[in-house]
Amino acid sequence: MNATLLTGSAPTRARFSFEVFPARSGAAALALGNSVQHLSAAGPDFISVTYGANGSHRDASLDLLAYLRDHTDALPLAHLTTVGESREVIRETIHRILDAGIHDFLALRGDPPRGSDEASPLVAGSLSALELTELISEARAERPAFTSVGRTAVAAYPNGHPLSQGQSADIDWLLAKEAAGAQFAITQLFFRAEEYLSFADAARTAGLRMPLLPGLMPVSTSGQLRKVASLAGRPAPVLLERSLEEAGGYAPELGVEHTISLARELLAGGAPSIHLYTFNRHEQVLAVLGELDLLG
pTM for the predicted model, two decimal places: 0.91
At how many degrees (to 10) do helices 193-205 and 167-179 cross?
60
Percent of the residues in the chain that have a pLDDT greater than 90, as a whole number = 73
**Interacting residues of 212 by C-beta distance below 8 A, sequence separation 6+:** 156, 184, 185, 187, 196, 199, 200, 203, 271, 272
Residue 88 has pLDDT above 60, yes or no: yes
Alpha carbon separation from 2 to 5, 90, 192, 254 (Å, rounded): 6, 28, 26, 30
What CA–CA distance (Å, rounded) separates 73 from 71?
7
SS3 15: strand
Provide CB contacts within 8 A for 64, sequence distance 6+. Answer: 20, 22, 23, 32, 49
Angstrom distance (rounded) from CA 21 to CA 277: 10
Q: How distant is the alpha carbon of residue 251 from its chain centre?
A: 24
Determine the topology of domain 3-220+251-291 in CATH: TIM Barrel (3.20.20)
Render pLDDT for 118-156 as a digit per residue (tens, 0 to 9): 556 556 678 999 999 999 999 988 887 655 568 999 999
Q: Of all helices (H) and strands (E), which one includes residue 17? A: strand 15-20
Amino acid at 125: G
- What is the average per-residue pLDDT within 100-125? 75
